[in-house]
A = this chain, B = another copy of it.
Amino acid sequence: MGAVKSPIGDEAQKIAGDVLQGSLIDLIDLSLVAKQAHWNLTGRNFKVVHEHLDEIVALARGGQDDVAERAVAIGVNPDGRARTVADRTRIPQLEAGYLDDDKVVAAVTDILAQIIARFRERITATDEADPVTQDLLIGIARELEKQHWMFQAQT
């Protein structure tokens, strides 16, 4: 089968495709990182942070599907394979073993801040290229920024 015919032009497709692929890596790794912390967490606030991390996982997984399906809808193949994620992720990785709740809250706050910064650039980048993609990214950014506030407020 040939490539899916894109509803947008070649250049716009290139810009939006890169942006979506970058977002996909961010969101897949965010879900992996949040699960890693969800499982290895310790500390007096264990129960609350344990459950809060699953909200991040749900947000990241929902976002993955949206950006990956958006990519293929404009004719660009998303790549969310383990090797690709491991090699291209820009998210600082957690250490193995038990993770203290305070440190997790600080780390997640920091990770979200970095991802948000990249989403902000992506929103700007797609303004001309594809308002449909941009609107999707804005929606995800709003959720990320809301979680960023809620994690930051606990630090």
Q: Interface on A for B, CB 8 Å cutoff?
A: 1, 3-5, 7-8, 28-29, 32-33, 35-36, 39-50, 52, 61, 64-65, 68-74, 77-83, 85-87, 89, 93-94, 96-98, 100, 102, 113, 116-117, 120, 123, 127, 131-132, 134-136, 138-139, 141-142, 145-146, 148-150, 152-155
Contacts and interface: CB of A to CB of B under 8 A. Distances in A.
Contact of A132 (B72, B89, B138): B138
Contacts of A135: 135, 138-139, 142
Contacts of A97: 77
Chain A interface mostly helix, strand, loop or mixed?
helix
Contacts of A153: 1, 4, 41-43, 46, 50, 72
